[in-house]
Structure 1
Amino acid sequence: MILEKRINAFVELGKFLSQFSQDKIEKKEHVMLNDLFFDAVKLQINRAQEFNSWFTKENVLYGIESWTKLLNLETLTNWTSSYNLTNDNPKTIAVIMAGNIPLVGFHDFLSVLISGHAIRIKQSSNDKHLLPLLAKYLEYVEPEFKGSIDFTEGKLTDFDATIATGSNNTARYFEYYFGNKPHIIRNNRNSVAVITESDSLEELKGIGEDIFRYFGLGCRSISKLYVPKGYNFDPFFNAIFEYKDIINYKKYENNYDYNKAVYLMSEFDILENGFFMIKEDNSYSSPIATAFYEYYDDLASLQLKLEADKDQIQCVVSNTIENAVKFGETQQPSLTDYADGVDTLQFLSALV
């Protein structure tokens, strides 16, 4: 199948997904295959929280909206134009997906198919209902995709390369199991925010979005704050106060109560506001309802530290650090914001 056909199929998927937004779910005219798929996808969105209690309808729709913005002709054409994706010798790529946030494996799904390869998918049990529907939609839009998309719950076999995402522990298993074939293996990463005294209230409100979207479960969710020595945290707590209603979500509240009790019994010093806690800690990975923080002496030294620890960091949010993500935009990656900084399309296009 030529690249143009592959792109056009995903453009049609983008048009289909544009009917599902946080503002409203509305069936539109002139969208391909609506009679077959609209009600089925709507049902999966409404039922997502039954299968995974972290997958609220709002967050599922946010994830869909994020992909709707990217699945258009201009964006997909610009993205693929830098690679040779003619692909006269397609391979079968085994993809092991995480399940921490809705559609977290979609970028790998898109990358494999847009590059002309076949995909064999092992989904996480936490996120396994929506993607197969979208895959089926693609097969109806472009029948040449049939036979190129396979979902399995068993042992992965008969593949030429692997893309696997998991924890630090599972990554070691992946290295052992898939190490004899071309592979991309991803493990735990976290995101950090660098705060200065000059950051405005509106900018700090953006950090609130970066912390609380998906309940902080994404690798692009901020789990660590760097602040100048002597920093007064009042502006930070004032900025995130608009997210106070998150405590009304029972599972989040349970995590907040549990982690707070652990900290208090351990006599750790924490600052908290009734729905979120911060604790001074050198680690990057913090529990739900918590961010760790660390003081810095100067931005130049901090930037060197972040560069040295780049294998543990997904993205840096800052107004002052070079090449950082802007406040409030961690959950809006572009197609070239590759997980772990590894160019997935380059990997796929180089397979021979």
Structure 2
Amino acid sequence: MKLYLLSKTAKLLNDGENEPLLKNIDMNLSKRIDLMAKLGQYMQQNSEDWQEVKEKAYSKNGWFLPEFIELSINNIVNHFLQKSELEKWIALYPKIKEQPSNPKLIGIVMAGNIPLVGFHDFLCVFISGHRSLIKPSSKDEVLIKHLVEKLIEWEASLKNFIGIADMLKNCDAYIATGSNSTAGYFDYYFGKFPNIIRRNRTSVAVLTGHETDTELDLLADDVYQYFGMGCRNITKLYVPKGYDFLPLINIFKRYEYLADHHKYKNNYDYNLALHILNNKVYMSNAALLLIDDKNIFSPVSQLHYEEYDDINQIKNDLQTNESIQCIVGKEFISFGAAQHPGLTDYADGIDTMKWLESLS
């Protein structure tokens, strides 16, 4: 059996000579849950080393504002790493054993659009009892590497279960998250193995015109948090014909400070220039362009909208659209909740734990 150790790069150990290491590891389900709960407590406490790591993550990727790093961490701690929530979650998967008799090595290709976006995949593999070899995105490697190192510091035997690598090879199965273009490469390299390959997804909101100011204020979070780069960010609004956008635009001014971020402002200025040159009608505030466009995907700093006559038709169309991660609205996910997924809110609607069960 081939094992990988965590180091600056993953090192492949020879078959056989390290087999006793794996056999001597006592890592039952209860202990795995306890370790994740302990990790959550660590992430919540602002120790000096954790603070330095967060500052380094922001320094390396200017899109990772400290407030967005904290938002991601708090979501993970509060929704993923509470012991009671972990126990309720794992109870849904009776085939997950205390310790799989033949743990598989799962290669995880992580995205880097928002801080710790790949943590849920890592959590699923760890709790399932399989081993993980992680290829972080260069845009988001600081936080996940530190958390893995912290786990191994607490439990040295985990060096045989968690690894970090620049390239994934010799894995039994793969979870890869990327764009529609990179998915083609993932299909080519990983297609002959059990896999979950994720493509571009985004989220939308359906408005009735009767939303309160409080609901519109929460919608602003769904649109602006993480600069709109997450698959759960709202990039398209569906509104009734004749919708009055003025209250929405005024409420969205709460996030106008993002215009002080030079990368975001560059995107705003570039898209604004395109619309002016093309004589395209637009609405705006200092940090958002509102454009009538049928495309559910919108570039950074831009939000699309589309008017509808029949809200029921819109609901039917959206619920069959495989490019949509989630829908926000009065009859869907609550306003302001898009960026607070729970343990069972799986990316692309694929139940990662059930898939991991099948590998056992």
* TM-score normalised by the chain length of structure 2: 0.90
Question: In structure 2, how many angstroms separate the alpha carbons of the residues matched to 1:14 and 1:49?
Answer: 20
Question: Matches of 2:144 and 2:357 in 1, distance apart?
Answer: 23
Q: CA deviation at 1:240?
A: 1.2
Q: Counterparts of 1:162-181 in structure 2 under 5 Å?
A: 162-181=174-193
Matches of residues 231-242 of structure 1 in structure 2 within 5 Å? 231-242=243-254
Taking the aligned partners of 1:343 and 1:245, their CA distance within structure 2 comes to 37
Map of 1:305 onto structure 2: 317
Take 1:343 and 1:163, find their aligned partners in 2: how far apart are those partners? 12
Is the 2:56–2:142 contact (alpha carbons within 8 Å) kept by the matching residues of 1? no
2:126: which partner in 1?
113
Q: Output the CA distance in 2 between the equivalents of 1:339 and 1:228.
A: 29
**Residue deviations 1:118-149, cap 9 Å, x none?**
10111111001111111111122233322111
SS of residue in 2 equivalent to 1:316: strand
CA contact (8 A) 1:93 1:118 kept: yes
Counterpart Cα distance in 2 of 1:192 and 1:280? 14
Q: Secondary structure at the match of 1:350?
A: helix
Distance in 2 of aligned mates of 1:159 and 1:279: 45
Match of 1:141 among 144, 150, 154: 154
Alignment length (residue pairs): 330
- Shift in Å, 1:211: 0.6
8 Å CA contact 1:237–1:273 kept in 2: the answer is: yes
Q: 1:74 aligns with which of 70, 81, 84?
A: 84
**Percent identity among equivalent residues?**
42
Alignment-derived partner of residue 32 in structure 1: none
- Alpha-carbon offset, residue 49 of structure 1: 2.1
> TM-score w.r.t. structure 1 length?
0.92
Runs ≥4 in structure 1, deviation > 3 angstroms? none
Alignment of 1:184-195 (within 5 A): 184-195=196-207
Distance 1:16 1:187 in 2: 32
CA contact (8 A) 1:100 1:217 kept: yes
On the 8 A contact 1:48/1:56 being kept in 2, the answer is: no
Q: How does 1:1-352 map to 2 (within 5 A)?
A: 1-20=27-46, 38-69=47-78, 70-83=80-93, 84-86=95-97, 87-154=100-167, 156-309=168-321, 311-320=322-331, 324-352=332-360
CA RMSD of aligned residues (A): 1.1
Question: CA separation of 1:132/1:339 partners in 2, compared to 1, >3 Å: closer, same or farther?
Answer: same
Task: Report the 3-state secondary structure (helix = DSSP H, G, I; strand = E; otherwise coil) of the residue aligned with 1:85.
Answer: coil
Aligned AA (1:80): I
SS at match of 2:138: coil
Q: d(CA) in 2 for partners of 1:67 and 1:178? A: 28
Q: Offset at 1:349?
A: 1.1
Q: Which amino acid aligns with 1:242?
A: R
Unaligned runs of at least 5 residues, structure 1:
21-37
Amino acid corresponding to residue 309 of structure 2 in structure 1:
D
Secondary structure of 1:225's counterpart equals strand
The Cα shift of 1:73 comes to: 1.0
